[in-house]
Amino acid sequence: MNRTLRLSLVAGVLMVSSAVLAKIMTPTERLAKVRAPLVLETAIPTSFGDWTEEKELTAQVINPETADALAKIYTQTLSRNYINRNGERIMLSIAYGEDQTSGLQLHYPEVCYPAQGFNLASAVKGTLQTNLGELRVKRLQTSLGTRYEPVTYWTTMADKVVLGGYDTKFAQLGYGFRGQIPDGLIFRVSSISNDPQQAFKVQEQFVRQIADALPLESRTRFIGTPR
């Protein structure tokens, strides 16, 4: 067998192997279809702890993504305002997507806010202590004109909290090796405040109380498994 023929055979074997491997590695099981349906409107309580929904202020919640992006990426979205007994207000925004493969994964606020004209002063990873354990989050300081909006958010992929970059890629690979297409959501709380540190404290109280009130059967889909 001459050298040219040997190289052709090797190349052919590699091409077939790559095709087979790609087929095996292509996830096909949508976790959203095999788990209990998730309905944001009913899963998120309108009243819990010190907080009650304030319906007349829903228009204050700004979504920094375009309507086209929302329709393409997310299966459901939910926006609400809450007020506590001290008159402190929180804006809640949740966006859920059934397909968290690379092309359709969640968009992160530190990208979306500036894209819609907001100034992003800082974006810092941190933790938030809940009664269920430690939750990994990101805290942003954003502004649009005279509107100062501190933001606390996290994202989940199936039952894991992911915060972008390699964190998200490793989670995608892990589910992909198991042949699974994970669902996921972005859970964002924010408030209008010129005092970001105080705003973050109020947001932490809000998250702690809403975490306690989430339905047991879907809690990990909202906050992962806290450490």
What integer pLDDT is reported at residue 1 of this predicted model? Answer: 56
What integer pLDDT is reported at residue 14 of this predicted model? Answer: 42
Q: What is the mean pLDDT of the chain?
A: 83
**Cα 9 from chain centroid?**
47
Q: Two tokens at 20?
A: 């087979």
More confident residue, 196 or 74: 196
Q: Could you tell me whether strands 147-157 and 29-30 are parallel, antiparallel, or unpaired per DSSP bridges? A: unpaired
Residues 6+ apart with CB under 8 A from 206: 51, 82, 84, 90, 189
In tens, the pLDDT along 121-137 reads 999 999 999 999 999 99
What integer pLDDT is reported at residue 34 of this predicted model? Answer: 76
| HSE of 177, CA atoms in CB hemisphere, 13 A | 5
Q: What is the mean predicted confidence (pLDDT) over 50-78?
A: 72
Q: For residue 171, what pLDDT band results from cuts at 50, 70 and 90?
A: confident
What integer pLDDT is reported at residue 99 of this predicted model? Answer: 77
Predicted structure pTM score = 0.81
What integer pLDDT is reported at residue 72 of this predicted model? Answer: 64
Q: What is the mean predicted confidence (pLDDT) over 13-30?
A: 50
In tens, the pLDDT along 57-67 reads 654 665 655 55
* Interatomic CA distance for residues 133 and 161, integer angstroms: 13
Is the pLDDT assigned to residue 24 strictly greater than 60?
no
Is the pLDDT assigned to residue 212 strictly greater than 90?
yes
Q: Residue by residue, what is the 3-state secondary structure of the chain?
A: CCHHHHHHHHHHHHHHHHHHHHHHHCCCEEHHHHCCCCCHHHHCCCEECCEEECHHHHHHCCCCCCHHHHHHHCCEEEEEEEEECCCCEEEEEEEEECCCCHHHCCCCHHHHHHHCCCEEEEEEEEEEEECCEEEEEEEEEEEECCEEEEEEEEEEECCEEECCHHHHHHHHHHHHHCCEECCEEEEEEECCCCCHHHHHHHHHHHHHHHHHHCCHHHHHHHHCCCC
* Interatomic CA distance for residues 77 and 38, integer angstroms: 11
Q: For residue 166, what pLDDT band results from cuts at 50, 70 and 90?
A: confident
Residue pair 112/205 in contact by the 8 Å Cβ criterion: no
**Cα 55 from chain centroid?**
24
